[in-house]
Structure 1
Amino acid sequence: MGFLDINNVTKSYGSVEVLHKVNIAVEEGEFLVLVGPSGCGKSTLLNMIAGLEDITSGEIRIKDARMNGVHPSNRNIAMVFQSYALYPNMTVGQNITFGLEMHGVPKAEREKAMADVAKLLQIEQLLDRKPGQLSGGQRQRVAMGRALVRNPDVFLFDEPLSNLDAKLRVDMRTEIKKLHQNLGTTIVYVTHDQIEAMTLSTRIAVMNGGYVQQLGTPKEIYDTPSNLFVATFMGSPSMNLIRTTIRIEGVAVYAVTQNDRGEEVRLALCAPLDAIKSYDGKDVILGIRPEALTDVEGADHRSSHIESIRNTVTVTEPAGSDTFVATTIGGAECVARMRADAEVLPGQQAEFAFNMEKAVVFDPESENRIL
Structure 2
Amino acid sequence: MGFLDIRQATKSYGALKVLHETDISIEEGEFLVLVGPSGCGKSTLLNMIAGLEEVTTGDISIKGRSMTGVRPADRNIAMVFQSYALYPTMNVGQNIAFGLEMHGVPKPEREKAVAEAAELLQIGHLLDRKPGQLSGGQRQRVAMGRALVRDPDVFLFDEPLSNLDAKLRVDMRTEIKKLHQKLRTTIVYVTHDQIEALTLSTRIAVMYGGHVQQLGTPSEIYDHPANMFVAGFMGSPSMNLFPASVAQENGKAVAKVELADRSTVALPFPDHAEMARHAGREIVLGIRPEAITDPDGSDRNSASIHHFDANVEVTEPAGSDTFVVTHMGGKEVTGRFRANVDVRAGRTFKFAVNMDKAVAFDPKSEERISA
TM-score range, shorter chain: over 0.9
In 1: Cα distance, 2:59 partner to 2:37 partner: 25
TM-superposition CA deviations, 1:203-247 (whole Å, max 9, x none) = 000000000000000000000000000000000111011211111
Task: Give the Cα–Cα distance (whole angstroms) in 1 for the partners of residues 234 and 17 of structure 2.
Answer: 25
Letter in 2 for 1:359: A
Q: Measure how far apart 1:278 and its partner are.
A: 4.4
Q: 2:143 matched to which residue of 1?
A: 143
* Aligned amino acid, residue 202 of structure 1: T
Matches within 5 A, 1:262-301: 262-271=262-271, 273-274=273-274, 276-301=275-300
Q: Distance in 2 between matches of 1:139 and 1:62?
A: 29
Question: Is the 2:324–2:335 contact (alpha carbons within 8 Å) kept by the matching residues of 1?
Answer: yes
Number of the residue aligned with 1:318: 317
Describe how 1:127-166 pairs up with structure 2 within 5 A. Answer: 127-166=127-166
Q: Which residue of 1 aligns with 2:42?
A: 42
- C-alpha distance in structure 2 between counterparts of 1:20 and 1:234, whole Å: 22
Post-superposition offset of 1:69 = 1.3
2 CA distance for matches of 1:95 and 1:87? 6
How far 1:258 moved relative to its partner? 1.4
What is the distance in 2 between the residues matched to 1:158 and 1:263?
Answer: 49
**Aligned match of 2:98:** 98
CA contact (8 A) 1:259 1:309 kept: no
Question: 2:75 is aligned with what amino acid?
Answer: R
Measured in 2, the distance between the counterparts of 1:250 and 1:75 equals 63
Structure 2 stretches lacking a partner, 5+ long: none
Q: Within 1, Cα distance between the matches of 2:328 and 2:177?
A: 39
State the distance in 2 between where 1:368 and 1:272 align: 20
Aligned amino acid, residue 220 of structure 1? E
The answer on 1:24 being equivalent to 2:39 is: no
**How many percent identity over aligned positions?**
68
Aligned-partner residue type, residue 79 of structure 1: M
> Quick one: which amino acid aligns to residue 130 of structure 1?
K
Deviations 1:104-151 (A, max 9, x none): 101000000000000000000110111111111100000000000010
Once the two structures are superposed, the pairs formed by residues 171-186 of structure 1 within 5 Å of their partners are 171-186=171-186
CA RMSD of aligned residues (A): 0.9
Aligned equivalents of 2:127, 2:264: Cα separation in 1? 68
- In 2, Cα distance between the equivalents of 1:76 and 1:191? 22
Alignment-mate amino acid for residue 309 of structure 1: F
Aligned residues: 370
Offset, 1:9: 0.2
* Contact kept? 1:244, 1:284, Cα under 8 Å: yes
Is 256-265 or 10-19 further displaced after alignment?
A: 256-265
Query: Match for residue 118 of structure 2?
Result: 118
Cα distance in 2 for residues equivalent to 1:316 and 1:264: 23
Structure 1 unmatched runs, 5+: none
Letter in 2 for 1:293: I
Q: SS in structure 1 opposite 2:340?
A: coil
In the TM superposition, residue 329 of structure 1 has moved relative to its aligned partner by 1.3
2:338 aligned partner: 339
Partner of 1:357: 356
- Distance (whole Å) between structure 1 residues aligned to residue 250 and residue 41 of structure 2: 47
State how far apart, in whole Å, the 2-side matches of 1:338 and 1:32 are.
Answer: 33
Displacement, 1:273? 2.6
**2:290 alignment partner AA:** E
- Give 2:288's aligned amino acid: R
> What code does the residue aligned with 2:203 have?
R
Question: Shift of residue 279 of structure 1?
Answer: 2.5
Q: How far apart are residue 282 of structure 1 and its match? A: 1.6
Residues 252 and 272, structure 2, Cα contact 8 Å, conserved in 1: no
Shift of 1:361: 0.3
TM-score by length of 1: 0.98
Q: Indicate conservation of the 8 Å contact 2:269/2:355, yes or no.
A: yes
CA distance in 2, matches of 1:270, 1:64: 45
Q: In the alignment, what sits opposite 1:167?
A: 167
Give how far 1:75 is off: 0.2
Specify the code of the residue in structure 2 equivalent to 1:351: K
Aligned-residue offset at 1:296: 0.2
Per-residue CA shift, 1:300-330, capped at 9, x if unaligned? 0000111111001000011010000000112
Q: Deviations over 1:149-181 (max 9, x none)?
A: 010000000000000001100000000000000
- Is contact 1:205-1:214 (8 Å) kept? yes
Q: Distance in 2 between matches of 1:265 and 1:96?
A: 62
- What TM-score results when the alignment is normalised by the length of structure 2? 0.98
2:329, 2:44 → 1: CA distance? Answer: 40
- In structure 1, distance between residues paired with 2:36 and 2:307: 34
State the distance in 1 between where 2:201 and 2:186 align.
11
Corresponding position of 1:240: 240
CA contact (8 A) 2:252 2:276 kept: no
Structure 1 runs of 4+ aligned residues shifted over 2 Å read 248-251, 271-274, 276-279
**One-letter code aligned to 1:59:** D
Following the alignment from structure 2 to structure 1, what is the Cα–Cα distance between the partners of residues 100 and 195? Answer: 34
**CA shift for structure 1 position 251:** 4.2
